[in-house]
Structure 1
Amino acid sequence: MDATVDWAVAKHPQAQLRRSGWVDLRGPWGFAFDNEDRGVQEGWPRRAEAFDREILVPFPPESAASGIQERGYHPVVWYRRVFELSPAGRAPRLHLTFGAVDYEAQVWVNGQFAGRHEGGHTPFTLDITACLSPETEQVIVVRVYDDPLDLTQPRGKQYWDPEPAEIWYHRTTGIWQPVWLEPLGEAFVEEVRWTADPDRFAAQMRLRVGGRAAKATQLRLRLSLRGRPLVDDIYALDGAVLDREIVLPRRMHRVQAVCWAPHHPHLIDASIELLAADGSVLDLVESYFGLRRIEAVDGRLLLNGVPLFLRLVLSQNYWPQSHLAPPSDEAIRREVELVKELGFNGVRIHQKIEDPRFLYWCDRLGVLVWGEAANAFQFDERAAQRLCREWADAVRRDYNHPCIITWVPLNESWGVPDLEHDPAQRAYVKALYHLTKTLDSTRPVIGNDGWQNAVGDIFGVHDYAMDPARLTERYGSGEALRRTFEAIRPAHNRLLVDGQTFEQQPVVVSEFGGLSIKPGEGENWYGYATTNDAQELLVLYGALVGALLDSTGIAGFCYTQLTDTEQETNGLLTAARKPKLDIATIRAITSRPARSVPSEILDAIFQHEIARRRGSRAEE
C-alpha cells in the first residue's frame, strides 16, 4: 500500500469492515450538562435551545480538546448533531455507529427514540432508517449517564474523586471514539471473522449477512498481498451465514513471504462483494487479516512455531489534552512508531479497551498487543454482569486483529478484592477465562494478571524490585521461578491461589521498573522509585532489563511504562511524547539478544512443531 491508501484505511473507525460511503460525524456538536436529570422530562430530544454549549466530538467534556474542560461531577450530559441527507441519495438503510460512549447512552433521531447501549469501551450500531425525516435536515440527540461514584462500573483508571491521585486519572465521560453513518443496501455484510491457519497457509472465513439476507445469492471474495492477487472466488449463499476455508496458492508457501510477525507484518487484503441474483452489487466491504498462530508450549510462547520473547511496554494510551481519546489520527500512528523506536516488540494496553484505529497501526507496523479490559473496583452480581457483557463485545470486535496475541480480562485482582478467600470471586475469574476461551480459542488467556493466578495459559507477575540481583534471584531460571511461585510474594500477594500449581505455563514479568527522575520541590508525583537524573535512570533501566533478558526461565517482560500519565511520571517519554533518554540507547538496551534457551526446551518445541506439521499434512 502507498501512504495515501494507508491513511484512507487508518482513518476509518473500523478498518476490519470498511465501506467507502461512510460519513464521519466527528466535529462540533451541541452540548449540555443535565445535573438535575430533567432533560427527558422536559423533552430535550426535540428542543434545540436546551443545548447551550458546543463540544468537539469525540473528546470528553473533562478534556481541554473538547472545548469544555469541566472536571466536576456531571453524571448526565447531552449531545446534539444536525446532518443533511439528500433525498436523491437515500439508501434502503442508514446505520449510525458510536465507537464508544462512556457509560450508558440513549439515542433519539428526529425526536424518535432509536436505541440504547450500556458499556463505555465498546461500539454499538443503530438502524435509524425508520427515524429519518422526509426533510433533508436530520437531528441526532444523545443522552449519556456516567455515574462517577459507581465503582461496579468497568472504568479502568478513571478516578472517582474530583482530582486524580496516585495511579488514577481524570475521567472520560460521554462520546470518546468516532461516530459515523453508513448507507447500506437491503442486504449487507454484517460481520466477517477470519481464523488463520499458517500450517496450511489457509484461513477460515465466517461471514454473516444482515438485513434481507435472502436478497443475496452470491458472494465474491478477492484476496491480495501487497497488491498481488491471491484468490478470486465466488460462493453461493443459501442463508445468513457463510463458512468457507480459503487456501492460499502454493507459490506463496514461504513463512516470511506471507505470515504475520513483528519483523514482517504482512497483511492479506480482502474485498468482499455481496451479489443479488441479477449480478448487481448489494454491498462492498474491505477487510484484512494476518496469517499467524500464537501458542504456549513448554514454558515458552511460540509465534508461527518460532520461540517468541516478549519485550513489551505498558501503555496507558492517555493524553493530557484529550484523556482516553487520541488527539488525532496522526497521534495514534506516532504512538505505535514510538514503541518500535524504543526497541519493544509489543505493548500491554492497560485498563483500557483500545480504539480499533490503534490496533490497525499495530497490525500494519508489526507491534504485538496484550488486549486488556477496563476493570471495576467492587465485586457484586451487577459488576460481574457488566464486565462479562462488555468484555465479550470487545473480544468479538477485535478477534480479527493479528497484533493481539493475549487476552487479559482482569488485572491485579481489580474488582475481585477478596479473590483469595471468596469462592464466588474465584469462580468469576475462572468464568471470565472460560468465556474468553469460548469466544476465542486461538489466543492464550491470563485470568488475573499480576498475582493470585487462579487460572491462565500464561502467568503474569508484577514485581517492582529495584535491585537487578533480586530479579535474577527470582526469575533467572526455571528453578528460580518454581521457588518464587511456591514461596515468594513479590507484591505482598500470593502468586497462586485455589489449588493452582506452577507447571509449564510461560511466565511473563508483566510489570516492572516504573522508574522516575526525582521530582522537584512541590511537584505532583507518583511512582515506584526515583533516580537523581537521566543518566542514573538509564543505568538502572539497563540493569533491570538486562537481568530479565539474561533469564532462561521467563517468556518475556513488560516495562512500566511508555509515557508519563498525569502524576504518574515514570514513563520513558514525557506526557507530551518527548524522550527523557536517548532513543537509540534505549533501543539498544531493549532489543539486545535474549538469553540462550536450554537445549531441552528447544528440543521439546522442535518435537511439538514436527508433530503439528505431520498432523496438518495428514488432514490434507
Structure 2
Amino acid sequence: MFRKSIYCGIVFLLLFSTLFAGGAVANNSTTVTTNSAEREPMNTEVHSIDGTNVLYQYGEPVPSFDTWTQEEPSRSYLSLDGKWKFSMDPDKQGMNEKWYAKEFNDANWQSEKVPGSWDLYDTPDFGTYDGSNFGVGSAFYDGDAWFRTHFSLDANWKNQFVKLHFLGVNYRAWVYVNGHFVGEHEGGNTPFSLNVSKYVQPGKDNVIAVRVNRRADFDSYTSPDAKPVTNDTELPYKPVDYWRYAGITRSVYLEATSQVTVSKILTSTGDHTLTTKVVVYNHGDKQAHRQLVVNPGNQTGGKQQSREITLKPGEVKVVSFDFTIPNAAYWSPESPTLYKVTASLFKGKGQGKQNGKDSVDDSLSTNYGMRTIAVEGSKLTLNGDQLFLKGLNWHEETAENGKSMTIEEYDTELNHVLNVNANFIRNSHYNRHPYVYDFSDKNGIMVLDDVDNMWLDTKQEALQTSSYGLSRSLVLSMAWNQINHPSVIMWSLQNESQIWDDEQVYRDWLADMKSAVKSIDIQNRPVTWASGSSWDPAYDLADVIGLNEYFGYFYQEDKDLGTTLDAVHRNHPNKPILITENGTWAHIEDELKHGDSTQSGTEEWQSAKFLNHWNQVTDPSRLSYMAGYTFWVLKDYKTRLGYNKQINGISTMGLMRFDNEEPRLIYETFKDAKNPLE
C-alpha cells in the first residue's frame, strides 16, 4: 500500500524531492532535446500605453475572450465547434505531405467532435476503475495529430478584422488557414487568438488545419522499467500527477469586427467607484476618428461618459474613465451581484449614441462586480471583512468527456462545491474554461487561479526566467484574461517546484512572475503559490503564504501541523496563511471501504484525517492569521504518472468517485465542517 499512498497526492517537502524532483527518477529519464527556439512562440510582451500595461501576443493586443458567450451585436461570429477531420501522424508525414494545404484530400480521415480530447476517441474503459486495459488506446497516443475543418463566410466579413479564437489546445498547436501558416501556440490551458484577416476568403470555401502535439510522459505506459520523457522548456516539463488531455479540447470560433475595435476593457472597483481602461486598436491602414462611449451598467447609478479619440493606422490607445456608482451593491459569496460595463465606438467626431444603433462601429461588454480584496496585516479581507476560505482543489475532467466538459457537466461539478458549503476553489494546476469563472461570478464561489508551473527543477526555473519565458507568458495571460472576474481573488504562480538546489534561481523565477502579474492586474490581487515546504525561502515575496501539507500522511504526525503553522506565522507575522492542499486517499474495494478510523485507507480514516487537520487550522488561537483550508480533492482524478495502474491510473483522494461521482463519507464530513467565521 506504500506505493499507492506515496504517489496519490502531490510531491511534498525535501524528504521526497530526491525521489520525484530530479533524483533517481530523473537520472533514468529519456530527455527530449530542449526546444530549439530561444523563447516561447507567442512572443508575449507587455507594452505601456497611455500609462496602462497592455498584453501583446503575436504582435497585437490580446483581445477579450468574453465574446465566447457574450456576442456583441456590432460583430459577426461563426462557431467552429462540431465534427472535424482527424488523423494521427506518428511518423510525422503531415508536414512533408502538406496536410495543411487547402486542397489536401482528407476524405479518408476519421470524423471527431471538437471540442474533444483524443484520449477518449478510442480507449476501452477510460472512465472506469478497470485497469486491465491501462496503456491501450488513443489515451496513450503521443506526438503529432492533425485536425481539419471547412467553413464558409458571408460577404459582410469582407474587409473586417477577423480573429480566430481557440479556448484551449493541448499541448502545442500550429494553425493554418487556407494553407497559410498563421501562428503557433504553446500551453494547453490558455486561450489564444490569431489574426486571420488576410487569410480568410468570404463567399468561398475555407479550410483550417491544426497540427497538435503532446509530449509523451513515459517511453512506455506498460513496462515496469518505463522511463520519464521530459522537455526542459515545456510546462509541465516532466510527468505530473494529472492527465494531460490532448487535442482541441475547448471551443473554437471566428469573430469579425470593424478595423477599429475595442480589444479589451479592464475594470477595477472601490467603494462605489469604478475605473475602466478601454483598449482601442486601429487595425486598419487609415487614420480613424471615433467617439468612445462607456456605460458603467444598469442599476449602478453611474452615468455614461464619452471621449473623442484619433488613432493612426496600427495604433493602440488606452482610454481611462472613472465612474461613481452610488447604487451598486458589493459582490460577495452571500450576494454575488454583477454589473455589465459596455464600451462603444461611434464613427466620426461629435457622434454618439443618439445617432442610433446603426452608427455603432464596434462595441464590447464585460461583467464586473464591486468588491475589494486585500491583505491587512495577517488577515485576508473581502470588502474590508476578514475571510476564511473553505475550499476544494479540483481537476477539469469527467469520465465521459475528459477535459472537454459540457456546460451541464461544469454545472454538476461546481454545484457540488456549493452543496458541500465551500466558498472557494483552487484551479489546480492550470487555467480553466471561461465558463468556470462566469459560474463562480454568478454563484459566489471565490477562486484561486493557477498555471502549469508544476514541479519545475532549478534548471527549468532558470531557463524560464533567463530566456524561454513561458512561465511569465502563462501568468500574464492568466491575469489579463481573468482580470474582470470578481470571483478571482488571488493568483497562484506555481505548485511544489524545486527550492533547494539554488535558492536564488527559485527566488528570481518567482519574483519575475509576481512582477509580471502585478504589472497587468490593476486590481492588485494578492499573489501566492502552493509550496511543498513549510520553510519556503521565498515566502517573504508572497502576499499570502500558500502551503501544501500532508502531516501524518507523507511525513511526521498529524499533530505536527498546528505547531508548524505557529512557527510559520512567527517567521512571517504579517502574512495570512492558506492551506492550499491537504487530504488522504480511500479504498475503492467494497470489502475495504469501511472500518476503524485508525485503519489506513478506510473512508472513516479519510474523514478522521481531514477533521484532525481542519480542527487545527480553525483553532480559535490561529484564526488571526489563517486565511483558509483547501481539501485535496473534489473528485478522484486520472493520472498517467505511473501509479494505481491496477485501477486505471486513478487517484482515489476525492470526496467522490471518478466514474459516477458517488459521494464518500468524506463528502458529508466536509460539508458539515463549519466555516469558523460564519
**Secondary structure of the residue that 1:545 maps to in structure 2?**
helix
Report the CA distance shift for 1:433/1:129 in structure 2 as closer, same or farther (over 3 A): closer
1:370 and 2:448 aligned? yes
Separation of aligned partners in 2, 1:38 and 1:394:
35
**Secondary structure of the residue that 2:138 maps to in structure 1?**
coil
Q: Quick check: 2:294–2:342 contact (8 Å CA) kept in 1?
A: yes
TM-fit CA distance, 1:300: 0.8
TM-score, scaled to structure 2: 0.73
Corresponding residue for residue 317 of structure 1: 396
1:513 and 2:513 aligned? no
1:461 and 2:547 aligned? yes
TM-fit CA distance, 1:565: 0.7
Gapped regions of structure 1 (runs ≥ 5)? 1-8, 161-166, 487-500, 596-620
1:52 and 2:81 aligned? no
Report the CA distance shift for 1:263/1:485 in structure 2 as closer, same or farther (over 3 A): closer
Report the CA distance shift for 1:142/1:303 in structure 2 as closer, same or farther (over 3 A): same
TM-fit CA distance, 1:199: 2.8
Corresponding residue for residue 607 of structure 1: none
Which of 212, 230, 241 lines up with 1:168 in the alignment? 241
TM-fit CA distance, 1:77: 1.1
Q: Quick check: 2:655–2:667 contact (8 Å CA) kept in 1?
A: no
1:245 and 2:321 aligned? yes
**Secondary structure of the residue that 2:494 maps to in structure 1?**
coil
Q: Quick check: 1:65–1:322 contact (8 Å CA) kept in 2?
A: no
**Secondary structure of the residue that 2:297 maps to in structure 1?**
strand
Report the CA distance shift for 1:87/1:439 in structure 2 as closer, same or farther (over 3 A): closer
**Correspondence list, 1:24-173, <5 A:** 24-46=79-101, 47-49=104-106, 52-64=109-121, 70-87=138-155, 90=158, 92-133=160-201, 135-148=203-216, 149-156=229-236, 160=239, 168-173=241-246
Report the CA distance shift for 1:205/1:116 in structure 2 as closer, same or farther (over 3 A): same
Which of 552, 558, 569 lines up with 2:621 in the alignment? 552
**Secondary structure of the residue that 1:514 maps to in structure 2?**
coil
Corresponding residue for residue 281 of structure 1: 360
Query: Size of the alignment, in residue pairs?
Result: 545
Separation of aligned partners in 2, 1:457 and 1:245:
29
CA deviation map 1:148-202 (0-9, x unaligned): 233435445x974xxxxxx723332231121101121121111111122x23523
TM-fit CA distance, 1:90: 4.0
TM-score, scaled to structure 1: 0.79
Which of 319, 331, 337 lines up with 2:409 in the alignment? 331
- The amino acid that maps onto 1:593 is P
Corresponding residue for residue 301 of structure 1: 380
Separation of aligned partners in 2, 1:66 and 1:223:
50
Gapped regions of structure 2 (runs ≥ 5)? 1-63, 127-136, 217-228, 639-649
Q: Quick check: 1:429–1:448 contact (8 Å CA) kept in 2?
A: no
Separation of aligned partners in 2, 1:345 and 1:296:
18
Separation of aligned partners in 1, 2:424 and 2:672:
16
Corresponding residue for residue 446 of structure 1: 528
1:562 and 2:634 aligned? yes
Corresponding residue for residue 292 of structure 1: 371
Which of 292, 296, 305 lines up with 1:223 in the alignment? 296
Q: Quick check: 2:154–2:202 contact (8 Å CA) kept in 1?
A: no
Q: Quick check: 2:529–2:546 contact (8 Å CA) kept in 1?
A: no
1:580 and 2:664 aligned? yes
- The amino acid that maps onto 2:614 is V
Report the CA distance shift for 1:48/1:338 in structure 2 as closer, same or farther (over 3 A): same
CA deviation map 1:192-213 (0-9, x unaligned): 11122x2352323333334238
- The amino acid that maps onto 1:266 is T
Cα-Cα RMSD: 3.4
Q: Quick check: 1:64–1:321 contact (8 Å CA) kept in 2?
A: no
- The amino acid that maps onto 1:408 is S
Report the CA distance shift for 1:393/1:18 in structure 2 as closer, same or farther (over 3 A): farther
Separation of aligned partners in 2, 1:530 and 1:368:
33
Corresponding residue for residue 475 of structure 1: 562
**Correspondence list, 1:235-274, <5 A:** 235-239=307-311, 240-250=316-326, 252=327, 258-274=329-345
Separation of aligned partners in 1, 2:423 and 2:81:
32
Separation of aligned partners in 1, 2:162 and 2:531:
41
Separation of aligned partners in 1, 2:662 and 2:592:
22
1:424 and 2:505 aligned? yes
